[in-house]
Amino acid sequence: MAQTKLHNLRKAIIVAVIPSLIVYALAINLSAMAGIKGLLVIRDLAQTCESALGIGLISNLGYLFWIATAAIALFTAYSTPTHSQHKLKELLLCGGWFSFILCIDDMFLLHDRYIGQEFLYVVYAIFAFLIVFRFRDQLLKNGGEIFILAATLLAFSVLTDKFQLDLVDILPVKYEALQIFEEGVKFLGISAWFYFWWSTSSKYIRKAVSHENHSPFADSIVLPERLMSKRKIKAEISRIINTLDLRPIYFIVILYTAIRWLPFGIFGWIQNEDGLMEWGSVALLGFSAINSFNILRQPHLSLQTRIIWIFYTLFFLLFIAEEISWGERLHGYGIESIQEINTQGETNLHNIASFQLKGLLHLGWAGLGFILGLGSWVIKNNPLFPNKKLSLYFLIPAIWYLGFEFCRKDGICPLTVANHQEIYEFLIAIGLFLHTRLWRRREELSKKT
């Protein structure tokens, strides 16, 4: 008995206490580096501002609904036997992590202060559409009308927020009334969102328990121990590692350790503008265009597949043209009117000053990375999205671009994020080349068989 208690205490310290201590210490130290007093970090906001109980109440309840939704959906998906409910489990995982992201955004006002509203709203809309498209059958069986109701209410809130100043000029209503309407619709949407995922999780658990009760081995099953065992956790980690191509991580580690400290400015020569990586990206995009063109030559392609590869071919050609400033870097001729408003004084669109100042370039790269990196996890076996094995070639650049834009815009960043854009463009170019090569080989094999 005493040994069991010691084991439980040791496990609690390792799993809960030590990670919490690390988070606590990092929060205080990083905030101090940003010029924020430690006392302001640890105290409750209402106590610091000496505000009344009702101030921010609806907003705080919204946070609780978001995080409760994420907790219920993720706990259900990770701790309940799947049996024949594989697609429903995937739906709960998507909904849980999506709710968690929405909670973080709402709590820390990412869409208002650090990341452009338009960018985030578009990403959220795309992700919601992908959920409907990927899991339409599961939604129809599990109260999809509630999901649509929640999404509609949240969309009304977003549209009101976006156009409220215009509405004040058009409609005979005050700004305060529109704010009350916007936040009210948002709160109702969050509540409906919570109810949908709670009810779906409940149905998932009931089906799993029913299956367990009808199993001949039901009496011998100890559910919590079986599900939360170290063996299961290790197996899940191993599955993820085996699913993903980890070479982008090795590439980044080697680049920022061994190569970073090489003499004679070798690291700069590799990753700077007009360096080895930029021209490597151009070459890989060229090979990708050749692969997509060869795929288009296959006569057995469906109309949808052919449209996708036409899009990719044009995308690669546009990407190459922009990288070499539409040939200006080769022949020296450019368009003066574009050069005057370009941060690099060249003839290309992606370096136009207004794009750079608003962060559209970096946020665009981040959005592209997340779409390409996560698309195949929602819509499988579609040439529009690279295989999930290639996800890190796109997700690592997406995360870096978000961090880079955050630090550039905020002006104060606890961690130094260097301007190494060519490294991450190179990673995306590698991922796109591998994607086109995989599908070219698949189409050629299909033709032979």
Q: What is the pLDDT of residues 117-145, one digit of tens each?
A: 777 888 888 888 888 888 888 888 888 88
The mean pLDDT of 67-87, rounded to a whole number, is: 84
Q: What is the mean pLDDT of the chain?
A: 82
Same structural domain, 45 and 103: no
Q: Tell me if residue 222 falls in helix, strand or coil.
A: coil
The 10 Å Cβ neighbour count of residue 308 is 20
Same structural domain, 200 and 252: no
Residues in Cβ contact with 49 at an 8 Å cutoff, skipping those fewer than 6 apart: 55
Of 69-73, 123-127, 149-153, 422-426, which gets the smallest average pLDDT? 123-127
Same structural domain, 33 and 67: no
Same structural domain, 419 and 286: yes
DSSP state of 345: S
Same structural domain, 359 and 427: yes
Q: What is the pLDDT of residues 13-37, one digit of tens each?
A: 888 888 888 888 877 776 776 677 7
Of 77-86, 174-183, 233-242, which gets the smallest average pLDDT? 233-242
At residue 53, the pLDDT reads: 67
Same structural domain, 402 and 297: yes
In a domain, 221, yes or no: no
For residue 215, pLDDT beyond 60: no
Same structural domain, 62 and 126: yes
At residue 408, the pLDDT reads: 65
At residue 417, the pLDDT reads: 46
Helices (H), 85-143: 86-108, 110-113, 117-134, 136-141
Confidence of residue 380 (pLDDT cuts 50, 70, 90): confident
In a domain, 233, yes or no: no
In a domain, 217, yes or no: no
How many domains, the chain? 3
For residue 412, pLDDT beyond 60: no
At residue 237, the pLDDT reads: 66
Same structural domain, 43 and 61: no
**Residue 31 domain boundaries:** 15-52
For residue 107, pLDDT beyond 90: no
In a domain, 222, yes or no: no
In a domain, 223, yes or no: no
Confidence of residue 416 (pLDDT cuts 50, 70, 90): very low
Which one is predicted more confidently, 378 or 434? 434
In a domain, 278, yes or no: yes
Could you give the angle at which helices 144-170 and 175-213 cross, rounded to 10 degrees?
Answer: 170
Same structural domain, 304 and 353: yes
pTM confidence score: 0.56
For residue 221, pLDDT beyond 60: no
Percentage of the chain lying above the pLDDT 70 cut: 86
At residue 82, the pLDDT reads: 65
Domain final residue pick, 7, 33, 52 = 52
In a domain, 371, yes or no: yes
- One-letter amino acid at 11 equals K
Same structural domain, 129 and 263: no
Domain final residue pick, 211, 230, 258 = 211
In a domain, 403, yes or no: yes
Max avg pLDDT among 177-181, 327-331, 337-341, 359-363: 177-181
At residue 45, the pLDDT reads: 73
The mean pLDDT of 196-204, rounded to a whole number, is: 92
For residue 90, pLDDT beyond 80: yes
**What single string gives the DSSP state of each residue in 239-278?**
HHHHHS--HHHHHHHHIIIIITT-STTHHHHHHSTTSHHH
Same structural domain, 341 and 256: yes
Alpha carbon distance 267, 126 (integer Å): 38
Same structural domain, 409 and 332: yes
For residue 162, pLDDT beyond 90: no
The mean pLDDT of 253-274, rounded to a whole number, is: 84
At residue 226, the pLDDT reads: 45
Domain final residue pick, 183, 211, 239 = 211
The mean pLDDT of 91-107, rounded to a whole number, is: 91
The 10 Å Cβ neighbour count of residue 180 is 12
At residue 223, the pLDDT reads: 45
